[in-house]
Structure formats: structure tokens, C-alpha cells
Amino acid sequence: MQEKPRAYDHKEIEAKWQKEWAKTGIYTTKDGANGADGEGGASEGAEKQKCYVLDMFPYPSGEGLHVGHPKGYIATDIYSRFKKMSGFNILHPMGWDAFGLPAENYAIKNKVHPRIAVEKNIARYKEQLSIIGFNYDWTREINTTDPAYYRWTQWIFLKLLEKGLAFQSYEPINWCPSCQTGLANEDLDDGKCERCGSVVEKRPMRQWVLKITDYAEKLLEGLNDLNWPESIKESQRNWIGKSEGAEIGFPIEFQHGQKPGLIPVFTTRPETIFGATALIFSPEHLWVTLALDEKHKGVLNNADEVRAYVRQSAKKTEIDRTNIQNEKTGITLDGVWAINPATKEKIPVFVADYVLAGYGTGAVMSVPAHDERDFAFAKKFNSSIKEVVVPNIVDKRNPPVVGKKFVERKNIHAIVKDLQSGKYLALKWKNFDWTTFPMGGVEEGEDVVGAAMREVREETGFKNLKLVKVIDGQVRAEYFAAHKDENRIAYTTAVVFELVDHEKDEIKTAEKEQHDIIWIDESKINYENMTHAEANVWRERLLVEATSFAGPGVLINSGKFNGLDSSAEKTRVDIVAEVGGKIVTRYKLRDWVFSRQRYWGEPIPVIHCEKCGVVPVPEKDLPVMLPEVENYAPTGTGESPLAEMHDWVNVKCPNCAGAAKRETNTMPQWAGSCWYYLRFMDPKNSKTFVGAPQEKYWDPVDVYVGGAEHATRHLIYARFWHKFLYDIGAVATTEPFMRLQNVGLIHAEDGRKMSKRFGNVINPDDVVNTYGADTFRLYEMFMGPFNQSSVWDTKSIMGSRRLIERVWRLQEKVIISEESTQQSRDMGEGTDVKKPDIKKLENLLHVTIQKVGSDIESFSFNTAISCLMVLSRELENQTEISKTTWEIFLQLLAPFAPHLADELWAALGHHRSIHQSSWPVVDASKITQDTAKIIIQVNGKVRGEIEIAMDSSEERVKEQAFLQENIQKWLNGATIKRIVFVKNRLLNIVI
RNA sequence: GCCGAGGUGGCGAAAUUGGCAGACGCACUUGCCUUAGGAGCAAGCGGAGUAAUCCAUGGAGGUUCAAGUCCUCUCCUCGGCACCA
């Protein structure tokens, strides 16, 4: 670099290298199966370890890219460049997910054919991506709307059909009135269409459904082994919604004596069945429909009202139905009873729309005492509440004594509030260190309130009490009753009173001798201050409204199961067996509604024949091409616009050659993305969807990068298809994406999402034009943690530009000729005398090699760049830079700033691209340092530091430390209690 | 309500998993240089204090020689699920 280098011109450099890369085709991937990888024939692709790095391919919308979109692509570009330099055979492809509503809506609005609009959008996207300098292998580009691609999407559908996993259904489904199509559960956002925000309706219609529920367990299980963000895995677990419980039959009886059979209910808490005081149907339950049928006239005394209720429920929107805040509604079925199979008691039967038709069996046993919703319903409809589980407390301070007998007691605690002082009545015991409420046993023939009043009168003399409430729910406690020398199992009810006045009866001397009356604050009602193990429960329940108890405990009122642990597996199993039920597992996951009544999607490849029914299109006739239509706007009739294409629709049955019609529904947007990652492995194959050797070599995707918004749709659907393909032997792995990295959004400077609507879009083309692609790439990666959302800040981008320019200037200091300088002699072989600062630089260089590598591996690009900044500053401080050091530095920079790196690399005389060079190797000997900096603390506060030989002993360090003036000052003759020494780290002197 | 991820300077953020809190960058301040450019260079930059030092990682307790990091409670922000029995 003798002559003064020209000024840094990003436009010239970037255009030059993009052209060069395209010309030499250095990013074209060779299959492992296909041999050499084009790098001078040095290695065979097959011998290299493969690394498949994938972006979630974009939906090419009319708006074009904003600066947020390329963020993930920059990351995969850096990652794959790094992996390639590290010796991996890289697959890093890009394609287009172009079927679906947005393209179609855009086309309708702008009066162009969706195909034309998509072509235009793709061209625009590609142009925008091209100037950022990505290493995509464009020879593998795919497009889901290409017949050569969707032919295989249709083929997979036929396989699903063949295996019984695709079927037609007539269940009511979600219908978006604005998009005029049916939607899957996953397409709803809070009961609204995810696309347009319209409230969806339930609409019965014919539809194709994929049986994803068959894979619920496998989809759940498979998550455990995936290197995915915990939040995504958790979202999927929630979505699949596994719950284990029991199905139990409840016999039904009609008023005239008929016994029409058993109604199965699903419950996750079968152990509470003795508390089931009602049977509740969802309005859509088949049995309700039958009971309202003409044939069963006379069974219900209130059939008209019930019919009206069912009709009214049907009219409610899904949001209304499922809003937890809404008051419960329902109606009794007058003339019908159910029998609780545990207690054999008759219980009332209701219809209520808080019971969902689509979950469990569509009917529930109502246990108000232990379920919040049942409790609210029972309160409103005055049905009975029967407690069968009580919390159980073993008194820690006063535990049962081994060897003493256990006595069961039914107890009361009287909680009496003095209205004047606001304090509570308590007893201070004389013979024991006890503070208690007035308390005692409930005697024969007495109720809890009577017992409580009696105890207050006997123990304190107060007689004018006003009942406030009996606290719902007993508490079981195990403790040692010292005053009776026995272990107690006490079932205690608390009764709350207000003290009207202080008028008293005389109390017995015996009572007086036992305890004094004291008054305590409400805040003292707890186990800390009182003897009662139950005190904390009372405190919790004292001021709140009555509610159900859903926690674990001990069974009561449950016949032979009394006293058992309600949460024990055995208890549940035994109770289920007792009532003739069975243990079952249920999932919230619904089958995937797979048909759309729209034009722009893959035609579902089946034919409806009057004689043969549903006939799959023969594989040889694939693809079923999407025909050109005059009008592709939705019809709203439940048929897609394809239904108007009579020439296309009317075909001969492949089976019987009779008259038949094509299916006119199309597939949902998510179909194409369910398997595109497989197609990239072998994109041009016309014989099969992916060649077996290619699949075997490349599958699975090693790193998959994209937004978290796909958690419960694309990422579940694709896993489902993949597992299906595995089951039919079409792929060799059970999971498609081994590692998932979420990319955080980039918000506009106003903090909102970037959108044309808000007029706050930053266009990557402008940024690249002004600052250059390398600067743009560095900036986006430096903004913050990769998976975190951040705010675009145009001012901050200069920091990245400064790094680029600093690197550009550094080339002036590079010494090309190794022999001619002092530094290179210092760094040369066989020289053991090295200047300390040269050693320091070598150390920094190798620490940086290591750090940048591990940071890229973990997607911590911000800290990797920070290290490069530190190193660049250090290089700037040097008077000259050796060629070796400079080369290593450029290689570390290459994944981040590929254009600049290649430019400076070429200036050194290299003829092959830096991106084909090998990632520098860390020299472990250069990472270890000769000296360590040791922090000297006095009482944990830093008071000094010393530089000392690596691995120095505690003695050596102490010696040095005590010499320090500052340390002496702090010690100041004090006696040393203790010294903590951490090798090469710190010395802490405790005085 | 349940589950998950977070809370550190004016701002974006670091912090080898318990060992110097604030690396790196933006903004800002002062000075230098200049062919006035979003340039470069030097120094400073959590708060208080002349200083020594003290106080600081949402809040309150605790464990420890030592806590942003571990434990208990609590408050707030974001994301997912939600009348799923």
C-alpha cells in the first residue's frame, strides 16, 4: 500500500463484488451426492459436513421490503458465510411463498391478475435483496405458485388422503365474512380473522380437514429434543393443550321412568366426583338436540324455553361465548335427572353455553366447590355446593407425636370482631404458650354456628354476637393437642361474628384459670402470631368473597375415599375405576380446516363423482393446474371462483369415466410452506418431491431463522407434515428444524410498527445507497440482541460506518513484505524475544478469533461486532500491521462486511475470494497470558489491583498485596479474620 | 387467571454464570486540526462530593468473604394461551 489509497466508495466496491460473485458462482451449492464443491477441487461436498441454514421465505407483498425484513437474512448470511469458512458444505437458499389472500386481495384491488402481481413483487423483492450482498444460491430459487412446485404440494395432499388424514367434514367452521372464506382455528386472533380483523362467524359447510390431531402427542413429544426458544415451545405446548383426565358416564333418567343411557363427561379432576352436583350440557350437544326432537315430546316440561336458549346461544359470537368475564347463563332441563355415579344421588341437568361443544365430550360434571366456573354457575342458579376436598396442614411447630393416638374431631374457630376497636377476640393461654381463637368441638346435634356461639360464651362470656358468615371450606389439620395429650386430626370450620356489645355472662372459674382475653389486630391473624395451623387460611378467606377451592388436599364426603390425598395418582385411578370410567387424554388442538373458498391457492386434487364419490386425481395427472379465470373475486357461496369454470370443473371420473366435477376449494396459504425446505434440497427434481440422496444428505435444517409470530401456525403445520412424511417413509428425520432462532422486529423511529399506513417506513434501498450494504449489515446486527425487537435510529448507523471507514484507513499501515520490518521479525518463527505490546496484540487477536466465532455460533452478533471494534482500535494504535494479522482481521470481518473484506483481501494479492478462505484457527498458546491482574478487596470492596505471574500462589499474591500502600491504609493494623483467594482473579481480605 | 421472556446510565446495550457493574456504540461536553464534510484526532461522560470516599442493576428482605447474577416476597413491561372442565 505505498500509494495513498483512494477514498472509501461503497457504491463502487459493492457493485464490483456483487458482480464478481455472480460471475464466479461462488455461492452455488453442490450436493453431497454430486461431488466436488468448486473450490479448486480440494474437497468433495460429500466429505464435508453439511450445514443447512434457512430463512423463513418471504411472502412477496406489494409494499416491498422495509429495513426490518432483511434483519434475519443478514443473520443467516453471516452465519452461513462463517460456517462455510469453517469447512461446512452450506445450503442457504431463498424462495417465495406466494399463494394466499394478501396477493389475491392486492390483485383484486389493483385489478391485475394475482400471478402478474406476484411476479412483479418477486422481481422487486429480489432487486432489493440483491444490493445487500447475500450469498443465496439463486439456482435453487423456488416459488410455491409454480406448477412444478405445487404439483408436489398436491402430491403430499394425496398421500394424506390415502392415509385417511385428509377428509371432508360438515362441522360448523370459522367463516370470515369479509374474506369470504372458511378459516382454521390457527387463523383466528382472539376470535377475529387474523388477516382483516373481522369477527368470524360459525358456519356449517363442507370442507376439507387434515387430521393433525392424530399427531398431537408426537408434536408435543418432539418439542423436547429441539433447540428452539423456550417461549415458542411453550406456545406450541399451550396450543396442543394436552390434559389428562377421565371419561365417566352419568346415567340419565326421564320423569316418566325411562332410562335412556349414559352421558359421558370429561374431567381432569375425577377425584372430586362426589362433589358433582349437576350435569351440564353444551347447547350443541347431540343429546340436547335429540331431547328437543318431536319424538321426545313430553320428556321436557320446558322444551320451548330450552329451545329458545339453544337458539340464543347459537347466535352469540365466539368471543361473546368464551368471554370469561360474562355472567354464566343456562337453563335447567325440567323433567330430566342425572345420577351421580359415585353417590348414586339424583342431580339436576342443565344446558349452559359456558360448556364448549368442541372440547371433551361436550358435557361436564359440575363440581361447584372445586371449580371456579361451576361455582359461579351454582351461585347464580342456586344449585347445591358440596365440599369434597379440604386443604390439609401438618402443624410444623406442633406436629403429631409418634406413638400417641390420633383422634378425629370436628372443630370450630370463632372469629369475633369488635366493631368499636376493629380488633379481634383471642385467648392467651396460661399453661401453654398459645394464642387462639375461641374454639372447640362441634357436639352431637349442634350446627357450627351454634357451637361457635356456645364456645365464645363459655370461654369469654360475650353473648351478643351477630353472625357475619361461615367461612366456606373446612381445613384439615394434623397436630398434637398437648392439653389432651393426643394427636388430633381436626376438621375445622371458622365462623365469623361481629360483637354487638361487651355485655357478658359470668364464666366458670375453670375457664378463667385457663386463659385471658386479649384483642389482636387483623394483621396478626396468621400462623406466626397464633397457634392455629389454619390461621393463614382464615386470613386469606376472611375478607374475600366465597370461592371454590381448586388446590390439593384430603377427600371428605367421599364415602370410602375419605381421608385420602386428593392429588395422589392412586386416588384418582381408584375413583375412576369405582365409577366405571376410564382414564383418557384430551387435546385442545383441533383438526386443520384445510379448504379455502378462494381463487389464489393450490387446487385440492380430488374429483367428485356421482357414482364413486371422492376420487383422488391420479398422480400422473398432477399438477391440477389453477385455471385462468375471468373473475377471481370470492363468491361468498361456499364455493371458490373456480366453480364458475365449467370447462375446468366438469371432468370424467378417473375411476368409472362417468360425469364428475373437480373440487373447487383451494388449499390455505400455509400449505406451500409446509415442505418448501425439503424442495430446496433438490429443487428441480421432476420425478419426486425430493430425491432420496439429497434428502438424506441435507435433512434436517440445521438453523432456521424467522419471526416468533409463526409459533402456532407454520411451525406446527410444517412439523405435522414432516412427521407424516416420515411415517410414510418419504423423509428420514422426525423433525424438520433442529434449531430455531427468532428474529426481533425493527420498529420505526416513532416506536410503531413500520407500515405504509403510518408513513414511517425506512427503505433498505435508501440506506444501502447512502451508507452502503456493509454498513447497513453491521448496523442491523449491532442494534441489540438478535431476537429482541429494537427501534431504528438513523443517527446510530454512523457508528457502523465509522468502523468501516476505520478499517479502510487501516490498510495504509499494512506491511506487505514480511521480512522488512521490525514487527514481522518480532512475530517470526524462532524468535523468542517478543516485545510485550506485540504479545498483547497477538493475545487480543486470538481472543477475538475465538470470541467472534462463538458469538456467531450463538447469534450474538452485537458482541461479535463490538470485539471487532475493539480490535480495529487496537490496530489503529499500531504503527504498522503485519500481513498475517491483517488477513486474520479481514477474515473475521468477512461474514459481516463481505464486500469490503473481499476488496481489501484482493488488494493483498489474493486471487480467490476471502469467502472461500478458511476461518482462522485459534492458537491456544496465544490466548493464555503470562500475567494475571488480581483484584485486591478489603471486606469485599475493591481497594487495589496487582499484576502478577499467571497461576501465582496465594502466598505470592498476599505478599505483593500487603506491600500496597492503599491496602495497608485500609487494613490499618486490624486483625485479619479470613482471606479468600481465587486464582488469577482476586484476593479478598476480611477484617 | 395460567404459562413464557424481560426490567442495568440521557439512549441501544455488555458483564466468562457468584468475583472490578456499565465493554462496544449513539448522543452529549471540552480542546485540537481543517480544503466546513453525516469528516478526523485527543480527553471526558451513572449519581453525590473539591477530594478521600459514598450511593447505584424495578422494589423489599435473605444467603455469602463477595450478588445484576442464587433464594423468598412484591411491583411493572412485553409475548402466548384462556369459560379447554
Look at A209-213, A570-574, A935-939 and tell me which has the smallest mean pLDDT.
Answer: A935-939
From the C1' of B25, which residue's alpha carbon is nearest?
A799
Distance A535 CA to B61 C1' (A): 23
Q: pLDDT tens across A40-58, in order?
A: 333 445 578 999 999 999 9
Which pLDDT score, from 0 to 100, does residue A946 have? 81
- Residue A325's nearest nucleotide, by CA–C1', is B83
Which pLDDT score, from 0 to 100, does residue A32 have? 66
- Residue A867's nearest nucleotide, by CA–C1', is B24
From the C1' of B85, which residue's alpha carbon is nearest?
A267
- Residue A269's nearest nucleotide, by CA–C1', is B85
* The residue count for chain A: 991
Q: Are A228 and A740 in contact (CB under 8 A)?
A: yes
Which pLDDT score, from 0 to 100, does residue A836 have? 61
- Residue A329's nearest nucleotide, by CA–C1', is B83
- Residue A799's nearest nucleotide, by CA–C1', is B25
Alpha helix (H) residue ranges in A228-344: 230-240, 286-291, 303-315, 318-321
From the C1' of B5, which residue's alpha carbon is nearest?
A231
Q: pLDDT tens across A553-592, in order?
A: 899 999 999 999 998 889 999 999 999 999 999 999 999 9
Which pLDDT score, from 0 to 100, does residue A829 have? 40
From the C1' of B64, which residue's alpha carbon is nearest?
A940
Q: What is the 3-state secondary structure (H, E, C) of A88-144?
A: CEEECCCEECCCCHHHHHHHHHHCCCHHHHHHHHHHHHHHHHHCCCCCCCHHHCEEC
Distance A9 CA to B15 C1' (A): 37
From the C1' of B14, which residue's alpha carbon is nearest?
A863
Residue A678 pLDDT exceeds 50: yes
- Residue A588's nearest nucleotide, by CA–C1', is B84
Contacts 24+ apart (CB under 8 A), A722-726: A722/A674, A722/A675, A723/A215, A723/A218, A723/A219, A723/A222, A724/A159, A724/A160, A724/A163, A724/A165, A724/A215, A725/A156, A725/A159, A725/A675, A725/A678
Rounded alpha-carbon distances, angstroms, from residue A6 to A299, A672, A811: 97, 49, 11
Distance A408 CA to B18 C1' (A): 50
DSSP state of A623: -
Q: Are A313 and A326 in contact (CB under 8 A)?
A: no
Query: pLDDT category, A599, cuts 50, 70, 90?
Result: very high
Most confident of A390-394, A714-718, A879-883: A714-718
Rounded alpha-carbon distances, angstroms, from residue A851 to A699, A702, A705, A743, A802: 29, 21, 22, 21, 22
Query: For residue A273, which of A360, A337, A331, A344 has the smallest C-alpha distance?
Result: A344
CA pair distance A408, A489, nearest whole angstrom: 5
Distance A791 CA to B35 C1' (A): 37
Query: For residue A893, which of A778, A786, A816, A767 has the smallest C-alpha distance?
Result: A778
Which pLDDT score, from 0 to 100, does residue A194 have? 83
Q: Which residues contact A739 (CB under 8 A, 6 or more apart)?
A: A226, A227, A228, A702, A703, A704
Rg, C-alpha atoms of chain A: 38
Q: What is the 3-state secondary structure (H, E, C) of A226-243?
A: CECCHHHHHHHHHHHCCE
Which pLDDT score, from 0 to 100, does residue A46 have? 56
Distance A528 CA to B71 C1' (A): 21
Residue A3 pLDDT exceeds 60: no
As ranges, strand B nucleotides with an atom below 7 A of a protein CB are: 3-5, 11-15, 19-21, 23-27, 38-41, 53-54, 65-67, 79-85
CA pair distance A950, A927, nearest whole angstrom: 12
Distance A955 CA to B19 C1' (A): 19
Q: pLDDT tens across A775-816, in order?
A: 999 999 999 999 998 899 888 999 999 999 999 989 888 876
- Give the CA angle between residues A68, A74, A75 to the nearest 5°: 105
Which pLDDT score, from 0 to 100, does residue A36 have? 37
Residue A317 pLDDT exceeds 80: no
- Residue A711's nearest nucleotide, by CA–C1', is B80
Q: pLDDT tens across A721-765, in order?
A: 999 999 999 999 999 999 999 999 899 888 788 888 888 889 999
Distance A433 CA to B34 C1' (A): 87
Distance A776 CA to B81 C1' (A): 37
Distance A896 CA to B57 C1' (A): 31
Half-sphere exposure of residue A474: CA atoms within 13 angstroms, side-chain side? 21
Distance A20 CA to B38 C1' (A): 30
Rounded alpha-carbon distances, angstroms, from residue A56 to A97, A268, A676, A715, A855: 9, 38, 10, 10, 22
Residue type, A591: D
From the C1' of B16, which residue's alpha carbon is nearest?
A851
Q: How many percent of chain A have pLDDT more than 90?
A: 59
Which one has a higher pLDDT value, A249 or A180?
A: A249
- Residue A235's nearest nucleotide, by CA–C1', is B80
- Residue A324's nearest nucleotide, by CA–C1', is B83
- Residue A785's nearest nucleotide, by CA–C1', is B13
The residues with which A986 forms a beta bridge, in sequence order, are A935, A982
Distance A940 CA to B18 C1' (A): 13
pTM of the predicted structure, to 2 decimals? 0.90
Distance A873 CA to B41 C1' (A): 13
Q: What is the 3-state secondary structure (H, E, C) of A659-713?
A: EEEECCCECCCCCHHHCHHHHCCCCCCCCCCCCHHHHHHHCCEEEEEECHHHCCC
Distance A965 CA to B52 C1' (A): 14
Which one has a higher pLDDT value, A490 or A544?
A: A490
Burial profile A655-669: b = 16 or more Cβ within 10 angstroms, e = fewer: eeeeebbbbbbbbbb
Query: pLDDT category, A831, cuts 50, 70, 90?
Result: very low
Residue A833 pLDDT exceeds 80: no
Distance A541 CA to B27 C1' (A): 54
Distance A587 CA to B84 C1' (A): 8
Q: Could you tell me the three cell numbers for A213? A: 390431531
Collapsing DSSP states into helix, strand and coil, what is residue A922?
A: coil
- Residue A989's nearest nucleotide, by CA–C1', is B65
